[in-house]
Amino acid sequence: MAFGQETNGSLGQDQGMNLTLPGPDVRLDLYQFAGNMAWLKRSDRRNWSRYSLNSSGSHGDLKRYWDADGVYLNRIIFSGQKHLESSDVFYGQMQYNINYFQRVNRSIEPEPYALDPFVYTDSTPGDFLYRGPQVFVAYSRKIAPDFYLGASIDYRIDRGLKDVFTRPEIIHRSIGASFDLAYCLSDQINIGLSLRPYDVRDITKLVEQPNGQVPFVFRYRGEFRYISLISKADRTAKYRGWEIRPSFSYKDKRNEGVLFGGYYYRWQEVFDGGAIRVRNGYYQAQHYFLNGTWRFFPDSRRRNLLALGYYFRYIEDWAKEPVAGFMIDQDFYTLHQIRIGYARNLSILPLKLATEIHYGYFNPRRNDYLAHRYRKGIIRNTEYNMGLDWQAGRAIQLRGAIAYQIYKEAPVWNYFHDYKGLSVSLASAYTWNHFRLDILTRWGAKNTIQSTQSVRSRSDLNILLQLVHFY
């Protein structure tokens, strides 16, 4: 899905069948798959507005140490697209997020398991409520017969409050932009280039407690070494960087595919209040990635579809302490994910059946020099999906899918251990005049397998309600 945009009700997007059952509004092109805003003008020639309500909930004890028991994400989204002239198009989206994290274990920062080693915690589990708006705007313009420019800006701010000691207030503010080019080399081949700078700031504010006690907090450097102190100082984590992403697409009567690669850079600083930097540090990450999807229709009537997806990511990062600049942590990650799918349009019924297999291979290698802990171990994730898409009538479209997941994690990580999961999703779309109503429901459950410890589980439920108006 394009950078900054939320779900468009696609079953494929939310379920994992996006290879073979992409959904009515989803296209495999430079805009929707590679996130190139310049291609917006060519991607979707319609004008529309959309009103969405999305609620997802997940609860259970199958989680990592600092994770929440329950995660409940709710969003209200208003979005729209308008072609101004023959050469311009605007897309705008306004969203309000209300996210509730139940029984977060000690962490008082938004993402304790982000790849940087600096984690901020107190000593108590508690609930967090985050609220805040998000705005995304994209623009695309045709400046020559085969040449397009695009740009976007994405701004989000959330304010989170914990209900118990240490009662921190967490402010998350992120700004991102993109500058994009797209060029049609021929009727089949298009190329693009995107540059995406970003700036994010997370501030955790502490206050004196109602009983007069100054808060007691922990500043982790890695998962095993920490500094405990009594402090009311604000703690700021700011990170900025950029991403460059060249992309390529091809389309003819039998084939369509998009491939993009790129480089992502992050530089992060974590510090107290003003210039006090003894307690935290610096972090740098570099990502190299490749992502491609290819669809092949063996027959001219497109009754059969073979699809292949490949995703690769290599990450190397390091962190250093702020006084003498010694490296405290250095990690290397390699991720491969392959997706294979087949879909068949039945000739006797307006029904499409599809199946996909996803295989993920993750090889992290983490060197915690501070704690003298050196870990490496493979994580594998396999998913088997089956789905169908039925045009039940002129105005009604129904979808269903089922997925079975097996996750295996090397014991050295001690995060989730091995687990299996099952999920079922149902979606419907009803179209009348210039309107379409989408409803999607997805339910899933996971359980640990062959664990030497107690059995852990997690269930989740996702509901999407959406109204689209075409002009």
- Taking phi first (over 0 means left), then psi (-120 to 50 degrees means alpha), and beta for anything else, what does residue 111 get? beta
Shortest distance, CB of residue 183 to another protein, whole angstroms? 8
323 neighbors 227 (Cβ within 8 angstroms): no
Of 257 and 281, nearer to another protein (C-beta) is 281
- Does residue 370 touch another protein according to CB under 8 A? yes
Q: Which strand (E) or helix (H) includes residue 184? A: strand 169-184
Of 149 and 357, nearer to another protein (C-beta) is 149
With CB under 8 A as the contact rule, the residue among 25, 321, 331, 356 that binds another protein is: 321
Binding mask 246-285 for another protein (x = CB under 8 A): -------------------x-x----------xx----x-
471's CB contacts (< 8 A; 6+ apart) are 46, 47, 48, 49, 434
Site residues for another protein, 116-155, by CB under 8 A, read: 123, 143-144, 147, 149
For the chain, counts of helices (H) and of strands (E): 2, 21
Of 114 and 233, nearer to another protein (C-beta) is 233
Q: Which strand (E) or helix (H) includes residue 174? A: strand 169-184
390 neighbors 401 (Cβ within 8 angstroms): no
Question: What backbone phi and psi angles, to 5 degrees, belong to 412?
Answer: -60, -25
Alpha helices in 395-471 (DSSP H): none
Of 82 and 232, nearer to another protein (C-beta) is 232
- Does residue 324 touch another protein according to CB under 8 A? yes
149 neighbors 38 (Cβ within 8 angstroms): yes
Q: What share of the chain is helix, strand, coil (3-state, %, to 5)?
A: 5, 65, 30
Shortest distance, CB of residue 315 to another protein, whole angstroms? 13
Length of the chain: 471
With CB under 8 A as the contact rule, the residue among 185, 207, 227, 349 that binds another protein is: 227
With CB under 8 A as the contact rule, the residue among 73, 94, 114, 214 that binds another protein is: 214
The residue type at 442: R
- Does residue 176 touch another protein according to CB under 8 A? no
- Does residue 241 touch another protein according to CB under 8 A? yes
With CB under 8 A as the contact rule, the residue among 74, 105, 330, 355 that binds another protein is: 330
With CB under 8 A as the contact rule, the residue among 198, 218, 310, 415 that binds another protein is: 218
Torsion of CA 27, 259, 77, 18, to 10 degrees: 60
With CB under 8 A as the contact rule, the residue among 181, 315, 388, 464 that binds another protein is: 181
- Does residue 320 touch another protein according to CB under 8 A? yes
With CB under 8 A as the contact rule, the residue among 228, 255, 304, 414 that binds another protein is: 228
- Does residue 306 touch another protein according to CB under 8 A? no
Of 42 and 59, nearer to another protein (C-beta) is 42
Of 195 and 357, nearer to another protein (C-beta) is 195
Question: What backbone phi and psi angles, to 5 degrees, belong to 11?
Answer: -60, -45
Alpha-carbon distance of 75 to 135, in angstroms, equals 12
Shortest distance, CB of residue 415 to another protein, whole angstroms? 23
CA angle centred on 301, ends 300 and 307, rounded to 5°: 75
- Does residue 371 touch another protein according to CB under 8 A? yes
Using CB under 8 A as the criterion, which residues of the chain lie in contact with another protein when the complex forms?
123, 143-144, 147, 149, 179, 181, 183, 193, 195, 197, 208, 212-214, 216, 218, 225-228, 230, 241-242, 244, 265, 267, 278-279, 284, 286, 318, 320-321, 323-328, 330, 369-372
